[in-house]
Amino acid sequence: MRQALFKTARILLFFSAGIFLLVLAFRDISLQELIEGLRSANYLWVLLSLTFASAAFISRTCRWIMLIEPLGYKPSVKNTFYALMTGYLANFILPRLGEITRCGSLNRTDRIPADALLGTVITERIADLLMLLLLALAVLLIQIEFFGDFFFNNIVIPLHGKASSMLDLSWQFYLFAGSFFVLLIIIYLILASRLRRFSLFARSEKIVRQVVTGMISVFRMDRTGAFILHTLFIWLMYYLMTWALFMALPATADLGTAAVLFVLVIGGFGMAAPVQAGIGAYHWIVSVGLGLYDISREEGLVFATLSHESQALLMIVLGTFSLYMVYTIARKKTVTWTEQR
């Protein structure tokens, strides 16, 4: 009961944060102007954008399989895609829930340990974070005098504030924390064999080992080059997806390559915010960013709404279908396994 209440409270907390950011982004905005702006869009470009997004999903599926194969499993592209899209759907319920959900989905369809899969997902996230940071650096180098203030005021300062609050501790605290960590390791090495007699410890140790095994799977791949190419392709599709949406609206159609790259980067940070599927955070940061190009707040929100909601609709449709397929496949395999017994 308490656990259910805690989960519900978390969902409501993050949902409230998203609503707050939405209100912050859309305050004093005329709903009529927003509707008119959406009506002015060329939805053939939106469809092209969704095509690029779908290509990125497929490539992401293949890349995930490359990380799973060193673990001794080879799931089908179909089942892996279903698990991936089910994860995207789960992100609309709770931030980062999708990572756990897609591992559980593939576990149900292909009997791959979810703990090991979680390690591969962490590795994937690290690769994407590195790409996002590299693109952010590229944006700064292209026009540092133009983008510098925005990144500094909206990303660097907030991150610096969080880091400072964490680092603003006495050296005694770090000495204590470090000593405590070393002590835990020593206790583990001395008592590990005895502690394994307890099922809870043995299970926890197994989970940690499997997660670490999944994380280092990237170093055991036979196709490292293909993994890198898929990563580059995924982000190329994200760029083309954003470019197509720029072309869909008269206000953004004439903005150049640097603007597309800039919005892709800040939109990536918005989607990474700890709210359901970037709701609110994406709208706010993209509309503010487009303001640097003399795009009005209303037009910026039209673009952000068109971009976020078109992608959200695609993920909800594919995610719902994938959830049904995961359930169907898992049920059939359970029946088959029971009959074989």
Helices (H) then strands (E): counts for the chain:
14, 0
With contact defined as beta carbons under 8 Å apart, do 234 and 55 qualify?
no
Three-state secondary structure along 237-248? Answer: HHHHHHHHHHHH
What 3-state DSSP class applies to 183? Answer: helix
Span 29-44, average pLDDT: 81
What 3-state DSSP class applies to 166? Answer: helix
pLDDT in tens, 164-188: 555 444 555 556 666 766 776 676 6
Model confidence at 337: pLDDT above 60: no
Model confidence at 44: pLDDT above 90: yes
Rounded Cα–Cα distance for residues 11 and 276 (Å): 9
Least confident stretch, 179-193, 196-210, 323-337: 196-210
Q: Which residue has the higher pLDDT, 36 or 341?
A: 36
Helix axes 77-90, 297-340, angle to 10 degrees: 130
Percent of the chain scoring above 70 in pLDDT: 65
Least confident stretch, 16-25, 51-60, 293-302: 16-25
For residue 206, count other CB atoms closer than 10 A to its CB: 13
Model confidence at 130: pLDDT above 60: yes
> What pLDDT is stored for residue 34 in this prediction?
77
Length of the chain: 341
**244 pLDDT band (50/70/90 cuts)?**
very high
DSSP 220: G
Exposure on the CB side of residue 254, measured as CA atoms within 13 A = 5
Q: Which residue has the higher pLDDT, 191 or 299?
A: 299
Rounded Cα–Cα distance for residues 259 and 300 (Å): 13
Span 250-278, average pLDDT: 83
With contact defined as beta carbons under 8 Å apart, do 112 and 68 qualify?
yes
Model confidence at 51: pLDDT above 70: yes
Span 123-140, average pLDDT: 86
What residues have CB less than 8 Å from 217, skipping those under 6 apart? 67, 68, 70, 71, 119, 120, 123
Q: Which residue has the higher pLDDT, 126 or 45?
A: 45
Q: What is the DSSP string of 194-209?
A: HHTTSHHHHHHHHHHH
Model confidence at 322: pLDDT above 90: yes
Rounded Cα–Cα distance for residues 132 and 173 (Å): 33
* Nearest of 310, 339, 267, 227 to residue 44 by alpha carbon: 310
What residues have CB less than 8 Å from 100, skipping those under 6 apart? 90, 114, 118
Give the angle 141-147-153 at the CA atoms, nearest 5°: 125
> What pLDDT is stored for residue 310 in this prediction?
92
> What pLDDT is stored for residue 174 in this prediction?
57
Span 62-80, average pLDDT: 91
> What pLDDT is stored for residue 32 in this prediction?
75
* Nearest of 45, 104, 71 to residue 241 by alpha carbon: 45
pLDDT, averaged across the chain: 78
> What pLDDT is stored for residue 19 in this prediction?
59
**240 pLDDT band (50/70/90 cuts)?**
very high
What 3-state DSSP class applies to 72? Answer: coil
Span 258-275, average pLDDT: 83
**289 pLDDT band (50/70/90 cuts)?**
confident
> What pLDDT is stored for residue 222 in this prediction?
72
Q: Which residue has the higher pLDDT, 227 or 218?
A: 227
**154 pLDDT band (50/70/90 cuts)?**
low
Span 99-111, average pLDDT: 90
Span 105-119, average pLDDT: 87
